[in-house]
Homo-oligomer: A and B are copies of this chain.
């Protein structure tokens, strides 16, 4: 249970060399790679490994992505990434992310969100509750625990 009131996935890792830019700080698009990592692991913990969903024909393309940059992180910094599912309807779902630089004191680095559609492998929208009832159930369990 997080301060945000949602079940969260938490990942810890270091900023990789190739993720930092000539300013010496983490390149702004890198955070979106981490968001992908965060929702992948959150879904895995909920029994929904994304690679498996794709094999079953359920894709989750991004409709919108957003990131607000609060303080920079640097190569080799220890990062804590928190991911929460914040909404899930029959056709869409949303995640929220917080990236914290660990240490004393720890500092909030960025906050972000992504919004996704449920589509099939032909890029047609699908009703996840009808077509994938087990997925629907697990997503709502994830959403409800908050």
Point out residues on A near B: beta carbons under 8 Å: 16-18, 20-25, 27-30, 32-33, 36-37, 40, 49-51, 54, 59, 61-69, 72, 74-76, 114, 123
Query: Could you jot down 18 A-B contacts, CB within 8 Å?
Result: A16-B33, A17-B22, A17-B36, A17-B40, A18-B29, A18-B33, A18-B36, A22-B24, A22-B54, A22-B75, A23-B59, A28-B61, A28-B114, A51-B75, A61-B69, A62-B69, A66-B66, A66-B67
Q: How far is the CB of A10 from chain B (nearest CB, A)?
A: 16
Q: Which residues of B contact A25 (CB under 8 A)?
A: 61
Q: How far is the CB of A25 from chain B (nearest CB, A)?
A: 7
CA distance A54 to B22 in the complex (A): 10
**Cross-chain contact B64 with A65 (CB below 8 angstroms):** no
From B22, B23, B68, A61 is in contact (CB under 8 Å) with: B23
CA distance A63 to B74 in the complex (A): 16
Q: How far is the CB of A15 from chain B (nearest CB, A)?
A: 9
Known contacts A21-B20, A29-B18, A40-B17; is A63 also within 8 Å of B72 by CB?
no
**Cross-chain contact B63 with A69 (CB below 8 angstroms):** yes
Q: Which residue of B lies closest to A52 (CB)?
A: B76
CA distance A20 to B18 in the complex (A): 8
Q: How far is the CB of A49 from chain B (nearest CB, A)?
A: 7
**Cross-chain contact A76 with B61 (CB below 8 angstroms):** no
Q: Which residue of B lies closest to A39 (CB)?
A: B17
